[in-house]
């Protein structure tokens, strides 16, 4: 009988010990401290519309970060300096490009953690002008960075009709769009001289699309030029046009 009591006591002690270990393990799991930087952003693709030279405002939020955080530091453009401080900050970009925004959070123990987010600032410019047969070209420079992914340059104009009271059989190619590697180099990238639909009616639109490979080796920018078409009939009347340039970094 005494042996039975001893067995029961030993089993009870073992159960209490195991239960205590389990409780301690659960407490340790619950008390694990996590420090984690987390960036939340209201938008990461914005435009700079020339000539404003400022992008839309972007809001960066660190409030979803974990830990007893005391400080939040932000870098918007790269490098080793911190541009702003706070749990929620805003930024406007003055240049198009692909940016990696960095967040550093520091807790009460002066421990730190980091997070990053990609921001794409695209470029857009719109020009209105006119050109005559005596003018060689009207040129427009647009900036580029090596991170540019693609670009679209669109020329729109109303064709000149020398005989407004007679039916138009074929549309006349009055002006063309050319794209060059830079402001002074006449090495041509692409042109729109063969893009005209002769049966098109109303506003004429000619668009040149540039791929990543077209832009890859350009470190500064390109030149879009509007020219009087070689096959345009002689005329003393200027042709009005709109030129739209869009460069995409996303």
Integer Cα distance of 190 and 224 in angstroms: 10
For residue range 88-115, what is the model confidence (pLDDT) as tens digits?
999 999 999 999 999 999 999 999 999 9
pLDDT tens, position by position, 152-180: 999 998 876 555 544 554 455 567 788 88
Among the listed ranges 11-15, 42-46, 85-89, 157-161, which one has the minimum average pLDDT value? Answer: 11-15
Question: What's the CA gap between 151 and 155, in Å, rounded?
Answer: 13
Average pLDDT of the residues in 21-31: 56
> Mean pLDDT across the stretch 129-143?
87
Instruction: Pull the structure tokens for residue 30.
Output: 């619950």
**Residue bearing the bigger pLDDT, 146 or 39:** 39
Q: What pLDDT, on a 0 to 100 scale, did the predictor assign at position 78?
A: 86
pLDDT for the residue 93: 93
Rounded Cα–Cα distance for residues 124 and 50 (Å): 6
What is the reported pLDDT for 247?
96
Find out whether 92 and 54 touch, Cβ atoms under 8 Å. Answer: yes
pLDDT at 178: 80
Instruction: Give whichever of 52-61, 72-81, 83-92 has the largest mean pLDDT.
Output: 83-92
The domains of the chain, with CATH numbers, are 40-122 (2.60.40.10), 132-248 (2.60.120)
């Amino acid at each position: 009988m005494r042996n039975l009591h001893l067995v029961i006591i030993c089993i009870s002690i073992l159960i209490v010990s195991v239960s205590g270990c389990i409780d301690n393990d659960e407490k340790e799991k619950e008390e694990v401290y996590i420090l984690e930087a987390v960036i939340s952003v209201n938008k990461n693709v914005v435009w700079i519309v020339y000539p404003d030279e400022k992008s839309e405002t972007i809001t960066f939020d660190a409030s979803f970060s974990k830990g007893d955080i005391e400080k939040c530091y932000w870098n918007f453009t790269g490098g080793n300096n911190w541009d702003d401080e706070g749990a929620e900050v805003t930024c406007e970009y003055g240049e198009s490009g692909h940016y990696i925004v960095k967040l550093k959070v520091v807790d009460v123990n002066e421990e730190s953690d980091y997070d990053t987010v990609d921001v794409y600032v695209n470029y857009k410019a719109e020009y209105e002008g006119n050109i005559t047969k005596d003018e060689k070209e009207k040129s427009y420079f647009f900036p580029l960075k090596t991170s540019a992914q693609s670009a679209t340059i669109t020329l729109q104009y109303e064709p000149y009709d020398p005989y407004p009271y007679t039916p138009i059989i074929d549309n006349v190619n009055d002006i063309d769009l050319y794209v060059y590697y830079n402001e002074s180099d006449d090495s041509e990238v692409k042109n729109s001289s063969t893009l005209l639909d002769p049966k098109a009616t109303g506003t004429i639109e000619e668009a040149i699309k540039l791929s990543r490979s077209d832009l890859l080796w350009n470190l500064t920018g390109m030149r879009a030029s509007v020219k009087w078409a070689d096959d345009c009939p002689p005329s003393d009347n200027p042709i009005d046009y709109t030129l739209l340039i869009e460069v995409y970094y996303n």
